[in-house]
Structure 1
Amino acid sequence: MKISIERAALLKAVSQAQSVVERRNTIPILANVLIEAEGSDVTFRATDLDIEVVDKAPAQVERAGATTVSATTLHEIVRKLPDGALVTLTADSAIGRLTVEAGRSNFSLATLPKEDFPVMATSEYQSNFSVKAPVLRRLFDKSKFAISTEETRYYLNGVYMHVADADGGHVLRCVATDGHRLARIDADLPEAANDMPGVIVPRKTVGELRKLLDNDEMTIAVSVSETKVRFATPDITLTSKVIDGTFPDYTRVIPQGNTRKLEVDAADFARAVDRVATVSSERSRAVKLQLDEDRLVLSVNAPDSGAAEEELAVAYGDERLEIGFNAKYLLEIASQVDRENAVFLFNSSGDPTLMREGNDLSAVYVVMPMRV
């Protein structure tokens, strides 16, 4: 195999590959990227056996062929090459080496046989549809902060993507929760997505998917089966196993009868919470909200480190309420608000609180209170 490729195209492909491979693994080939050159394209394939990413880039293919090389090492080399460099990759299977040349730089890397590289089995996808990149980006960006990191509740270690009922129609919905907070985000249901099975997209896959969604003009082809999900752009295909588990009935957690309504400027609220939380104890990071008519007092009282208080002018017309929250959870939820106002709906100091963006019901957040 011998190819010449622009540094920028090569860097983009190998950076995607090296973020998928696991640094520490017992199977050496899984640390490698499979490079296959044919026609006028070269493909870079990487996998950790749960996720597979395939990136296609244009190249001058002098000699077709394939090899595998350490994804991390190749990425580090390409990253350090000068901008605009033309990189030549030459594989010699007889000696098991890949030569990387650019200008006066020359590297020789160990390779492993391409035959040993595991390729993810193709799946029969029950549902195939297309979604604009900004729509998919919003669904996952606004929900991923609530993904659980607790390995024992593995079925919460991802975003539950499914078709749901909303106001008499169907929507494409993403939900994530860790038991302390919950995010539920809706988008218009794409054509041909009606039969999509509900799947839990793993946390790592959500992170890799995010890299495909920066181009607002891009349309993403989504394919879903009971066991796999695939996201494809013209150049990159990301395939992932889904979490084998049942996502809990999240609708029971979303409060319906919360009537005490607080309306506050989201940015002012987030900054105020951040300021008063500076003195909270690291362990609990508890912030108390005292609500009175058109007045909100945020306070922290940490015996070890001190106390803080800040007052905000808000829209609130219900009876007095004191309620405590983990500052980190409040900040993460407030940072999701794209509109000017955040609306909080309370019931009592011991019940879950609902938050939404103004009157928009397509993004709903729930946060559990804590004793302060």
Structure 2
Amino acid sequence: MKLTIERSQLLKSLAHVQSVVERRNTIPILSNVKLEGRPGSLSLNATDMDLDIIETVPADVSRPGATTAPAHTFYEIVRKLPDGSQVEIEYHSEDGLLSLRSGRSKFSLSCLPVEDFPVLSGGELPHSFALSAAELKTLIDRTRFAISTEETRYYLNGIYLHAATTPAGEVLRAAATDGHRLARVEITRPDGAAGMPGIIVPRKTVNEIRKLIDETECEITVSLSETKIRFAFGDAVLTSKLIDGTFPDYERVIPEGNDKTLDVDVKSFAQAVDRVSAISTEKSRAIKLALEKGTVTLSASSPENGNATEEIEADYDAAPLEIGFNSRYLLDILSQVEGDGARFSMADAASPTVVKDSADGSAVYVLMPMRV
């Protein structure tokens, strides 16, 4: 294999694929990226056996071929080459080395046989639909903060994606929960998503897709089965195994009869929460809200740091109520509200609170209160 490629294009694709590769690997081939030169293009492929990414970039290929090279080392070399430089890549099968030249710099990398590289991306996926980059971004951003990091409840370590029927019509829903908070967002169901199984997309996959979305404006084709999902973004294809488990019936957690409503200006409320929470302990992050007609008083105290209070105007005219929350969880939810106002629906100090964007009903957040 012999080719010449522009450094910035190679770097961009390498950045995407090398982030899938784990830093510590017991299987040597999984530390490598597969490089395949074809007329006019170079294909880069990396996998951790659960997640697989293939990206294709234009290249001047004078001798087609394939090999594998150490992903992180290769990336570091290309990253440190000067801007605008051309990179010459040549694989010598006789000595099993990949040589890389740019200007006066020359590197030789040890390669592993391309035959050892695992194939994950094949197979038929019966359900397929298209989403815009903005739609996929909405589904991910408004839910991923609530993904659980607790490995024992592995079925909560991802975003649950499923089709649902609502009074307003057919929707595609994304939901995530860690037992303390829940996030659910929906978009109009795309053509082809009817009849799809409910699936749980793993956290690492969600994070890798999110990086790719920022760099694309094109439509994304989503194909899935009960065990795999594939996202096709122009020149990149990301295939992932799904979490094999049953996501809990989260609808049961969303309370219907919360009769006390609090309307706040998101920006000023979030800033007040952030300021007052500076006092709360690192472990509990507890903050108390005292609701009275027309105002909400935020307070926090800790034996080590002292105490803090701040009063802000709010639209509230139910019976006085005191309720406590984890301030970080509260700020995570407020950061997802895109409008100017947020509406909190509460029943009492011990029951789940529902938070919605006043201007947009497509997202629902549920936050469990805490004792303060």
Do the structures match in fold with TM over 0.5?
yes
Residue aligning to 1:299: 299
After TM superposition, the structure 1 = structure 2 runs for residues 207-246 of structure 1, keeping only pairs within 5 Å, are 207-215=207-215, 217-246=217-246
Cα shift at 1:219: 0.2
2:216–2:233: 8 Å Cα contact kept in structure 1?
no
Residue aligning to 2:2: 2
- Do structure 1's residue 102 and structure 2's residue 97 form an aligned pair? no
SS in 2 for 1:211: helix
Residue aligning to 2:131: 131
Provide structure 1 residue ranges, at least 5 long, that are not aligned to the other structure: none
Partner AA of 2:228 in structure 1: K
SS in 2 for 1:270: helix
- Do structure 1's residue 17 and structure 2's residue 32 form an aligned pair? no
Output the CA distance in 1 between the equivalents of 2:281 and 2:269.
20
> What RMSD, in angstroms, separates the aligned Cα atoms of the two structures?
0.9
2:170–2:189: 8 Å Cα contact kept in structure 1?
yes
Provide structure 2 residue ranges, at least 5 long, that are not aligned to the other structure: none
Residue aligning to 2:275: 275
After TM superposition, the structure 1 = structure 2 runs for residues 56-95 of structure 1, keeping only pairs within 5 Å, are 56-95=56-95
Partner AA of 1:183 in structure 2: A
1:2–1:89: 8 Å Cα contact kept in structure 2?
yes
Superposed CA offset, 1:259-301 (max 9, x none): 1111111111111111011011111010000000010000001
Residue aligning to 1:199: 199
1:133–1:215: 8 Å Cα contact kept in structure 2?
no
Superposed CA offset, 1:234-278 (max 9, x none): 200000000000000000001111111111111111111110110
Residue aligning to 2:351: 351
Residue aligning to 1:144: 144
Partner AA of 2:226 in structure 1: E
Residue aligning to 1:173: 173
Output the CA distance in 2 between the equivalents of 1:168 and 1:304.
51
Residue aligning to 1:55: 55
Cα shift at 1:168: 4.7
Output the CA distance in 1 between the equivalents of 2:362 and 2:215.
23
Partner AA of 2:305 in structure 1: S
Cα shift at 1:121: 5.2
Runs of 4+ in 1 over 3 A off after TM superposition: none
Sequence identity, in percent?
54
1:123–1:228: 8 Å Cα contact kept in structure 2?
no
Output the CA distance in 2 between the equivalents of 1:337 and 1:247.
25
Partner AA of 1:222 in structure 2: V
Cα shift at 1:310: 0.6
Output the CA distance in 2 between the equivalents of 1:109 and 1:125.
37
Superposed CA offset, 1:198-255 (max 9, x none): 1100000000001221256310000010000000012000000000000000000011
Residue aligning to 2:315: 315
2:139–2:186: 8 Å Cα contact kept in structure 1?
yes
SS in 2 for 1:94: coil
Superposed CA offset, 1:287-325 (max 9, x none): 000000010000001122110001111111111000000
Output the CA distance in 2 between the equivalents of 1:18 and 1:148.
25
Partner AA of 1:229 in structure 2: I
Output the CA distance in 1 between the equivalents of 2:242 and 2:212.
18
Output the CA distance in 1 between the equivalents of 2:11 and 2:359.
43
- Do structure 1's residue 186 and structure 2's residue 186 form an aligned pair? yes
Partner AA of 1:53 in structure 2: I
1:132–1:216: 8 Å Cα contact kept in structure 2?
no
1:123–1:225: 8 Å Cα contact kept in structure 2?
no
For normalisation by structure 2, the TM-score amounts to 0.99
1:293–1:318: 8 Å Cα contact kept in structure 2?
yes
For normalisation by structure 1, the TM-score amounts to 0.99
Partner AA of 1:156 in structure 2: L
Cα shift at 1:15: 0.8
Partner AA of 2:27 in structure 1: I
1:33–1:45: 8 Å Cα contact kept in structure 2?
yes
**Range with greater deviation from structure 2 (23-32 or 216-225):** 216-225
Change (3 A) 1:314 1:213: same
Cα shift at 1:94: 1.2
SS in 1 for 2:364: strand
Output the CA distance in 2 between the equivalents of 1:172 and 1:361.
14
Output the CA distance in 2 between the equivalents of 1:82 and 1:307.
53
Residue aligning to 1:248: 248
SS in 2 for 1:280: coil
